[in-house]
Structure 1
């Protein structure tokens, strides 16, 4: 989406007051989300089964490293519902913005920066439950030639998007409705703009495919001023659980077998390709010297590639690509093609 980046300016003292506020919100968001997943895993565990709980892993950068700061990684691995579900909080400071962050802001090339955010990717075990991604973040930087007392340029980014393996129209519409409602208080233009941005961003150019059914995405955003832009970010973060967990609860009991599992692993390959080849967030983390273990939290635990895989035209696997991995106005389609049914055994 060819939108010009914007930034809001904050005086040094004002930014110092705002950083703890943003940090506290992000830490609370991470805790709420992962506590909710822990509750689902506890609910799903049968008698005699070990309940998968999220590992809490605080970390901090070592003295002398170019990037300084700290964070908390929370991750579930091997759960009944979530095969791998990671949610990371990070708050880092660095001497130079990496190239991935300055391609739209050449005046800030080489600027010292501060960045904080929450990023998650959940890979469910059941192929009928979609993978989901959500991220909210803030970056502040000062032009390198203006000194430490210059106003900081602050901007926000984030969004959420859904990647199903078997498509259900009611799930997609529910997810997009929650995205729409989160943005509506900030202007009727925000959802269509951010939906288009998401469709354009989460696109595998080397495959000519959408990564999933989209959602919302925004970057380099500060056009509402600091307070309102932060409010928009918080509204997106707060909407996540309501957008995703009803889909999880609706689909996690759907029977599945080897056929569905093989297709899930195959489609996960597209997820890996996008994150490593195209994703600006992954590039930002690696280029800035971030914590690799946390940056690659988005990777699925198992994945497979098949050479020139073909699915029959009447199969739900083919329907995913034909009907769901398309740029569609999901909320306007009252009579869109129906959802995929479980394949016949």
Structure 2
């Protein structure tokens, strides 16, 4: 989700899906949408001169062997790899900002603006310790139990959006996250709930079938390595999530994969899946930008790209749960809005000419296509 990693989208409600979830998780999915995110507490950040070795609290359960520490290690490595690849392609360097919070956690934002290839590119990592009310816990986990105390939660993730200058080169977004929460006092059952979520999706202005096949094919190869049901399930989930409802149900782009509430198999397996998916971003995306970064284009084609950027802004500010969660709970605003392009365009009643490449793109956004078998 073009979501800010600072807000984590960790307690965001999950979209209704045609997937096989246990009854308790189905109930949780339905209830999470009604939880007021304003009730979640996240401490204000404090700027750092340089990134720390770890964003985790010292000692306790956050030792090097914990899932928290291993997931943070993974997202930090993924951030380094992706930033390095984009810097090599663009020729410019990312600006880095690091911050922490008094009660633990923090983040590292790396942003490139007005580059040679990219108008704007950002890669954020974040570790968040916060508090949620008991009703949010019950909605998130499907577990019962009493108690009125605020419930600690932990979230870590990586989030990124890349907006190239050339209208023939596509935008990409990806986000991978891990979430834990403790049960409220007096709750029955297991004391801790956890899950993984994330996805990678592509937003081109113009449709190149071979590009779409490469992007989706790369993601499918990773999914198939872990479970051959993943790609068709998560591709459909992405098509259902990235919808701009007020624009006749246009999709933001041509999708990719999207998943949430993954806790139906061992943590080790899901960590390996998230790691491989984050590692697929560079081979899935960078060749497409390298291919099109020097393509010739017209003023009309640039205007169409700016119109599609406007749609991107609309989705992120109106529908993206990570963005809206961050705006309502006082998250780090620069990280929350990192996903927005530097420039966009809104033109009254713009309709593409029938049979044009713009019309073909709009059809692909309104009617999701099958890109790989």
8 A Cα contact 1:212 1:325, kept in partner: no
CA deviations on 1:97-145 (whole Å, 9 max, x unpaired) are 7999975545489532111100000000000001110110001101222
Task: Note closer, same or farther for the CA distance 1:273–1:25 as it changes in structure 2 (3 Å cut).
Answer: same
In 1: Cα distance, 2:359 partner to 2:184 partner = 52
Tell me the number of residue pairs that the alignment of Structure 1 and Structure 2 aligns: 314
Task: Note closer, same or farther for the CA distance 1:190–1:307 as it changes in structure 2 (3 Å cut).
Answer: same
Asked if 1:18 corresponds to 2:58, the answer is: no
Among 137, 141, 160, which residue is 1:120 paired with? 160
8 A Cα contact 1:56 1:75, kept in partner: yes
Structure with higher RCO (Cα < 8 A, 6+ apart): 2
* Secondary structure, aligned partner of 2:355: coil
CA deviations on 1:289-334 (whole Å, 9 max, x unpaired) are 32111011100101111111012112211111124542122113xx
Superposed CA RMSD in Å reads 2.6
Among 246, 268, 271, which residue is 2:312 paired with? 271
Match in the other structure for 1:262? 303
TM-score w.r.t. the length of structure 1 is 0.84
* Secondary structure, aligned partner of 1:154: strand
Match in the other structure for 1:164? 204
In 2: Cα distance, 1:319 partner to 1:101 partner = 44
CA deviations on 1:253-301 (whole Å, 9 max, x unpaired) are 1111321111111111111111111112213333443211101110010
Contiguous gaps of at least 5 residues in structure 1: 43-51, 333-345
In 2: Cα distance, 1:101 partner to 1:217 partner = 23
Match in the other structure for 1:33? 82
Residue correspondence of structure 1 range 43-82 to structure 2 within 5 A: 52-61=92-101, 63=102, 68-82=104-118
In 1: Cα distance, 2:349 partner to 2:135 partner = 35
Contiguous gaps of at least 5 residues in structure 2: 1-16, 29-58
8 A Cα contact 1:34 1:87, kept in partner: yes
In 2: Cα distance, 1:97 partner to 1:197 partner = 29
Residue correspondence of structure 1 range 144-155 to structure 2 within 5 A: 144-146=184-186, 151-155=191-195
TM-score w.r.t. the length of structure 2 is 0.78
Match in the other structure for 1:339? none
Match in the other structure for 1:205? 245
Asked if 1:311 corresponds to 2:352, the answer is: yes
